[in-house]
Amino acid sequence: MKQYLSLLQNIIDNGVEKESGRDYMPKVLGISHAVIQMNLKDGFPLLTTKKMPWKLIVHELLWFLRGETNIKYLVDNNVHIWDKDAYRWYLKYCTDNKISTYFPKIENFVTFIRDTFISIYYDSMNNIHYELKDSNNELNEHLTALASANYIIGDLGKVYGYQWRNQNGVDQIKDLIDGLKNNPYGRRNIIDTWNKSDFHEMALPPCHLLYQFIVRPLTSYEREDIYFNSYKKEDIYFDYDDEGHFPNASDTEVHNTLDEWGAPKFYLDVNMYQRSGDSFLGVPFNIASMSLLLMIISKTCNMVPGIATWIGGDTHLYIGHIPMAKEQLKRECRKLPQMLIKSNTNSLEDIVKLTINDFELTQYDNPHPSIKAELFTGLKK
């Protein structure tokens, strides 16, 4: 991930100090364009210059893919990167609907979600109900008032998961998988979350807002290599050489036979555009997440994960993060780890059943120590 370190250095050397453009957010040092391109054949792009909590990245991505927008699942799995945004959204709902705040601190809010709030359900009249471990009259009155304003504790509104799975009634993940399977060369295999009509119902408009998936056909030699790494050589009825190729067969014969065996035909690449990037904390998560998404979609569509290109718009370091970035720049990159998806995924239904236990990170044995930094979300202190 030398490209990432180069990005940090570029911001420090050439960035312009400016306002963040959001209330209660610190100033930034920023540039207007950045690109990081990663070939997943080289390993899984998880930083080695600071230890990354990779399970948090997996949990968040699964949360998106299931179309969820409530932090209950994240909190239950000890993922707290969305806590402040959810609490800020709760406070806004209380203010906008003239409801007294029951949870005076974010700690109370998160504790309620983790320890008291079990689940929610809707009755036949589409009214919101909570299943709680314990409650009192004041809490019940508060929840009833919030429910009447169509708000659920811990929800973030129509953020990523909603847009991915139900944007104006469209399931974009289903459409993406169908498109790649039925028309792989199509140029409309896109996930787009920049839905302005829903902004007023989002705790935060999307930062990583557009993904385009593009195929590249594999050569017969590349397909042979993949087949030899995945199947038994004794199944092959062509003569093959020491490198696993079929010198006595025509290119057409090889392709036709590999088609019969169901060998992948394509590399799958992705370009992701991020309008706003917190380069010290957020961007490393986003790069790993987009790469894992590429792996999941590739596996589901019987393709080979190829090149993941991250494109940053307003790419910045918060002023308070600059010392941490400089500390990271002193460190040497180490060999990238490998990520394995252990379960077969052939459909969207298979994807939504994935759990953290279906992922295995290997060779991440010796990253540099983590570097702590504050996550800024605009929550007023």
Sign, CA dihedral 294-297-299-304, equals negative
Integer Cα distance of 164 and 158 in angstroms:
10
Contacting residues for 203 by C-beta, under 8 A, at least 6 apart = 85, 86, 88, 89, 156, 157, 159
Q: Could you say which of 94, 207, 301, 333 is catalytic?
A: 207
**What amino acid is encoded at 159 in this protein?**
V
Residue 9 burial (CB count, 10 A)? 13
**What amino acid is encoded at 128 in this protein?**
I
The answer to whether 101 touches 88, Cβ cutoff 8 Å, is: no
Q: Is 131 helix (H, G, I), strand (E, B) or coil?
A: strand
Contacting residues for 23 by C-beta, under 8 A, at least 6 apart = 378, 380
Is 207 a catalytic site residue?
yes
Measured CA distances, 27 to 18, 43, 188, 229 (Å): 6, 35, 37, 50
**What amino acid is encoded at 20 in this protein?**
S
The answer to whether 354 touches 345, Cβ cutoff 8 Å, is: yes
Phi, psi (rounded to 5 degrees) for 323: -60, -35
Integer Cα distance of 153 and 147 in angstroms:
9
| Residues annotated as catalytic (active site), given as ranges | 207
